Amino acid sequence: MDPKEIDWNKLTAIIEKHRTQKWSLIPLLQEVQEVYGYIPPEAIEPIAESLKMLPAQVQGVATFYSGFSLKPKGKCVLKVCRGTACHVKGSRSILRHVKKELHLEEGETSEDYQFTLETVACLGACFLAPTMMVNREYYGKLNPTKVTSVLGQYSKNKEDDG
Ligand code: FES
């Protein structure tokens, strides 16, 4: 999500909902991340204040759990598997191909916030190796041609067309 397009009213509503709950930091952060795609740094202080915590404590939790991201991610988050089963089936060349097509390195997000590229240890679909995920969708038995066609489905121009 492009940080410039943030609707802060949603943050206020999420905070209000969790304010009275005990042990509510994690579910609150989860909801913020679901709505915004990440935890905006500007959200840390109001969250801390509402839960009577220090901003550093909230920041610490958000940083500790790998499921939380403090950086904005693209609309399409690509997770390319680099696990053993996928490695044996050529995941390195798949990753290389994805990087070339998107002009991104691991952990990077495109300037238009369309794509974020990540790698993971195993997607739990080894029988489909080599695999990758785009958001919640699995793509398996990949080869460079298939990767190009998958990326085409998620490219911005394609979405604008249809
Ligand atoms: S190693 Fe790639 S899905 Fe398991």
In the chain the domains, ranked by start, together with CATH numbers, are: 3-64 (1.10.10), 76-161 (3.40.30.10)
| Mean local confidence (pLDDT), 84-94 | 96
Query: Who contacts 152 (Cβ-Cβ below 8 Å, separation ≥6)?
Result: 158
55: exposed, middle or buried (Cβ count in 10 Å: 0-12, 13-18, 19+): middle
Residue ranges around ligand 1 (CB below 6 Å): 81, 83-86, 122-126, 129, 131
Structure confidence at residue 84 (pLDDT): 96
116 pLDDT band, cuts 50/70/90, is very high
Q: How far is the CA of 92 from the centre of ligand 1 (A)?
A: 12
Give the three-class secondary structure for 116. Answer: strand
Residue among 72, 80, 93, 71 nearest 133 (CA):
80
Q: How far is the CA of 126 from the centre of ligand 1 (A)?
A: 4
Q: How far is the CA of 127 from the centre of ligand 1 (A)?
A: 8
Residue among 9, 53, 4, 56 nearest 35 (CA):
9
Whether residue 23 is predicted with pLDDT greater than 80 in this model: the reply is: no
7: exposed, middle or buried (Cβ count in 10 Å: 0-12, 13-18, 19+): exposed
| Mean local confidence (pLDDT), 25-48 | 91
Structure confidence at residue 162 (pLDDT): 45
Between 125 and 37, the more confident residue is: 125
Residue 143 Cα to chain centre, angstroms:
23
pLDDT winner (highest mean) among 35-39, 47-51, 131-135: 131-135
